[in-house]
Amino acid sequence: MHSSARIVAFVGTRNPEQAKAFYQGTLGLNLVSEDGFALVFDIQGTMLRVAIVPELTPAKFTVLGWAVSDIVAAVRDLQKAGVKFERYDFPQDELGIWTAPGGAKVAWFKDPDGNTLSLSQH
């Protein structure tokens, strides 16, 4: 594979209408196309294919994340849009943000299908 090849991100959905409302409406992503196979979004030049699948068992780890410059503002914006941030059995602040030993900050949330997504500030 050539290092100049562009990456394509994939996430699955059993309910494309809910996924479309979430990724386009709640997260504000640019919907490029949709058909019986996938919803396709453009995220600053990266293609996100939300594949329509008959069955889905969400991974037990983060499948898609965004690096942001101000995680507190990003979390608050998503909360205003109705996103609920996850709580885990390790220290998180009142917004659900965890500070890693190296200083990175991370907050996790789920899409309508239960896929774990994240925001991080490095």
Domain extents in the chain:
8-53, 60-122
Residue 2: the pLDDT is 82
| The pLDDT of residue 61 is above 80 | yes
Residue 3: the pLDDT is 86
The C-alpha atoms of residue 81 and residue 94 are separated, in whole angstroms, by 18
- CATH architecture of the domain 60-122 equals Roll (3.10)
Report which of 74, 101, 75 is spatially closest to residue 86, judged by C-alpha positions: 75
Residue 1: the pLDDT is 65
Report the top-level CATH class of 8-53.
alpha beta
> Which of the four pLDDT bands, split at 50, 70 and 90, describes residue 13?
very high
Mean pLDDT, range 26-40, rounded to an integer: 97
| The pLDDT of residue 67 is above 70 | yes
The partner residues of 62 in beta bridges, in order of sequence, read 116
E strand or H helix that includes residue 79? helix 71-80
Same fold flag, 8-53 and 60-122: yes
- Give the C-alpha distances (Å, rounded to integers) separating 98 from 20, 30, 54, 72, 112: 28, 29, 34, 11, 22
DSSP 103: S
